[in-house]
Copies of this chain bind each other. A is one copy, B any other.
Amino acid sequence: MTHVYNFSAGPAVLPREVLEQAAAEMLDWHGSGMSVMEMSHRGPEFISIYEDAVRNLRDLLGVPANYKILFLQGGGIGENAIVPLNLAGLSMAQPATVDFVRTGSWSTKSFQEAARYVQANLAAGPRAGEGYTSIPPQESWQLSKDAAYLHICTNETIDGVEFNFVPTVQGDTPIVADMSSHILSRRVDVSKYGVIFAGAQKNIGPAGLTIVIVREDLLGHALPICPSAFDWKIVADHDSMYNTPPTYGIYIAGLTFQWLQKQGGVAAMEQRNIEKARLLYDALDADDFYQNRVAPDCRSRMNIPFFLRDESLNDKFLAGAKARGLLQLKGHKSVGGMRASIYNAMPIEGVQALVDYLNEFAGR
């Protein structure tokens, strides 16, 4: 087996122990004679897998009792439509007004897609000619008086911009947070949000599973055009089994949740993630050979884009990295350069191997 460290932004590295257990149980889960893939979603075997996954996620994130945890399909791009389709009915006025803060590519996509269903208000975004390198100060946000909700992306996978604070909103406007690429990497006060959603394929499991955590009073406000399969109220009323859920993805997610608990939970992971990120940013900041352009107070701990001062060396850098088993370091095509995603499942040894290579390549 080739030994590699996989810095992909998603689908991404999973804990080795999770994959080992999945391989061992592939043909026969717990003496059932069935693979998890072959189980009816309504049978006792899968129901137990589902219930364990929900309970462990609730425990890991401290999800209050008045929030539902839903397992859906469609990913983040699906949710960009599914969220407004579910929440636009919160507003008396139609089309409803929704506030967006643009801090990178993902919040921008959410803003654009929502405009099909709601009056999308750009409450804050980058200054003209500036890339996504900071979060506009909250006092500059132009929030609407009667917004159905405020949408933010708390970690921008492509741009490497991460929220270190929960925004203050007027009245009881719910905050909807796309946490796809940093869920479970840091502690979060779920009660400050109305909805948290995340595609699984970064910090949780395989692509095709989307997790939605929603406060109960926000259920039941879907527009009539919302497809049943994506109506959170219907999904919640059927314990995520209104349509057949992505059962194998839920199983792998459940194994990841068990692994996280064995690691000491989210608080312990956060400490390790702080350490890993510091190690990498220190190497990037050591001199001007590399550059990360994000403001220090909102640098992501999960997705770290960087540029070589001399970009004509890009191909050589990537080839050398690959030769050392350091994979998927090419930046997203929309921004160029490099990017290292260092999710929960990336061990500090992997970050150290990357740092060693960064130093070597810079001739330090």
- List the interface of chain A (C-beta within 8 A of B): 1-4, 6, 8-14, 16, 19-20, 22-24, 26-28, 31-35, 37-41, 43, 73-78, 80-82, 85, 113, 116-117, 199, 201, 205-209, 224-225, 227-230, 242-249, 252, 325, 327-328
CA distance A247 to B247 in the complex (A): 14
- Let me know if A116 and B224 touch, CB within 8 A: yes
| Cα–Cα distance between A27 and B117 once the two chains are bound (Å) | 43
Q: Evaluate contact between B41 and A207: CB separation under 8 angstroms.
A: yes
Q: Taking A73-B74, A74-B78, A206-B247 as given, write out 9 further A-B residue pairs in contact, using a Cβ cutoff of 8 Å, ordered by the A residue number.
A: A1-B31, A4-B34, A14-B37, A74-B227, A74-B230, A78-B227, A80-B228, A82-B227, A116-B225
Contact of A327 among B12, B31, B34, B245 (CB under 8 A): B34
User: How far does the alpha carbon of A40 sit from the alpha carbon of B341 in the complex, in Å?
Assistant: 12
**Cβ distance A129 to chain B, nearest Cβ, rounded Å:** 27
Q: How many Å from the CB of A81 to the closest CB on chain B?
A: 3
Q: Which residue of B lies closest to A20 (CB)?
A: B27
Q: Are A3 and B33 in contact, with the CB atoms below 8 A?
A: yes
Is the CB–CB distance between A38 and B6 below 8 Å? yes
16 residue pairs bridging A and B, Cβ less than 8 Å apart: A1-B28, A8-B38, A9-B40, A23-B24, A34-B327, A37-B205, A40-B328, A74-B78, A78-B243, A201-B247, A207-B247, A208-B208, A208-B209, A246-B246, A248-B248, A248-B249
With A208-B73, A230-B78 known to touch, is A35 a contact of B8 (CB < 8 Å)?
A: no
Report the nearest B residue to A45, measured CB to CB: B327
Contact B207 A246 (CB under 8 A): yes
Give Cα distance in the complex from A247 to B39, angstroms.
20
Q: Which residues of B contact A243 (CB under 8 A)?
A: 74-78
